[in-house]
Amino acid sequence: MGHWLERNIIEPGKLPLLLALASFILSFVIVRTITRMIKAGRGPFRNISPGGMHIHHVVPGVVLTVVGGFGAVASGRQGAGAAISAVLFGVGAGLVLDEFALILHLHDVYWSEQGRKSVEVVVITAALVALVLSGFLPFGVNEVSEAERGSRGAVVAEVAVNFAFALFALVKGKLRIAVVGVLVPVVAVVGAVRLARPDSPWARRFYRRRPRARRRARKRAERHDARWNRVTRRLQDWIGGFSEPPAPPSPPS
């Protein structure tokens, strides 16, 4: 294990990224656990509301992200400064993305249906960082051979093609596939060549006069949603605690 860590993480300078990912996941797990305890009325934790104003944990998260980000830029990729900055950035990012839905909607939707977006964004972010940590680079740059790297045109063409596939997947309404396809181009290819979702910009533009294609896209989307939505919601419930009932109100004194 030590040899693997030295060869694959420390020597390539990926230790700060590993620390950032670990602290990101840990901070998310801790803050979700605390908020679930607050929701259930268990434990010593309570909302922080000085002067009646509720302070969301996205606020310290932003501070830590800014400090860690600037610290990482200033310290480079080696040394204790880089490691500390990576941890600060990871913790801050975990706090911020746990309230991603609040930032998106500018409203406290933490436990609502819209709040599920926060869990989804955290899971996708952790998966993407893990892919980068394991050696994947955006738009298939890691798949370019040494000979191709000597030709700037070949590299640009490779990146442009992979970017186009990811863009096609996005326009076809497949956001998750497009995001993952940035690092794993074959995923973007699959999303680009298959039918678009019926509510996507691609379907509105190109399926408008093709009723058969619209029907096929709608049926495929319905089958996909029926198959995966329940699994996704159960996973979100397990991670985020959305299905847990809130604590009963305290009786009046």
* The pLDDT of residue 253 is above 50: no
* The pLDDT of residue 5 is above 90: no
* pLDDT at residue 134 in the model: 83
Residue 196 tokens, joined: 């678009």
Nearest to 121 by CA among 188, 176, 171: 176
Taking the CA atoms of 123, 124, 127 and 133 in sequence, report the sign of the dihedral they define.
negative
Question: What secondary structure letter does DSSP report for 200?
Answer: S
Q: Under 8 Å CB-to-CB from 5, ≥6 apart: which residues? A: none
Greater model confidence, 225 or 137: 225
* pLDDT at residue 169 in the model: 94
Greater model confidence, 149 or 131: 131
- Which of 30-34, 140-144, 185-189, 208-212 is modeled with the greatest confidence? 30-34
Q: Under 8 Å CB-to-CB from 85, ≥6 apart: which residues? A: 16, 67, 68, 69, 71, 72, 74, 75
Percent of the chain with pLDDT over 70: 89
